[in-house]
Amino acid sequence: VTARTTHLDAGVRDAMRALSAAAKEGLGDPALAELVQIRAAQLNHCAFCLDLHLKVARKHGVSETQLDRLSAWEEADDTFDARERAALALTESVTLLTESSVPDEVYERAAAHFDAPRLAHLIGLIAAINSWNRLMVSRRIPAGSTAW
């Protein structure tokens, strides 16, 4: 696979980095942030993003079992705790906006596990990874590429 284009405006790149950094900082849970970002990248089919976030997840000590079962987290309730499950459910519905809105039960479940500032940052993180997914898939940036 070769990239369609590796061009990206420096201002866009800086803004995206600021968005992700702010969201991750405010969420304050690096391992969970990686689970969220990997799950969104799975739904959006972003090879570059999956490659990158799987590496970062392992660096943060996310277990191989969690990574193996992430795409079937609803069937793996012994592998993900209630807080992780609430975050993953929110990730899926905020990513799948074209299919439905964000249901009250999904939102309320997340609000029960995350205080308002953390919830706002979690939504920010989901929006940020969705943005990276779009920037990378559209330009067809290959997994592992350093030119993007």
Q: Which residues bind other proteins (CB under 8 A)?
A: 4-5, 7-9, 11-12, 14-16, 18-19, 21-23, 25-26, 43-46, 90, 94-99, 101-102, 107, 111, 116-117, 119-121, 123-124, 126-128, 130-131, 133-135, 137-140
Q: Which is nearer to other proteins, 32 or 62 (CB)?
A: 32
CB of 22 to other proteins, least distance (A): 4
- In order, the DSSP letters of 75-136 are G-TTTS-HHHHHHHHHHHHHH-TTT----HHHHHHHHHHS-HHHHHHHHHHHHHHHHHHHHH
CB of 144 to other proteins, least distance (A): 18
CB of 60 to other proteins, least distance (A): 21
CB of 148 to other proteins, least distance (A): 11
Q: Which is nearer to other proteins, 111 or 143 (CB)?
A: 111
Tokens for 43?
């739904």
Residues 6 or more apart whose CB falls under 8 angstroms from that of 95 comprise 39, 40, 43, 44, 126, 130
Report the alpha-carbon distance of residue 136 to residue 110 in Å, rounded.
Answer: 28
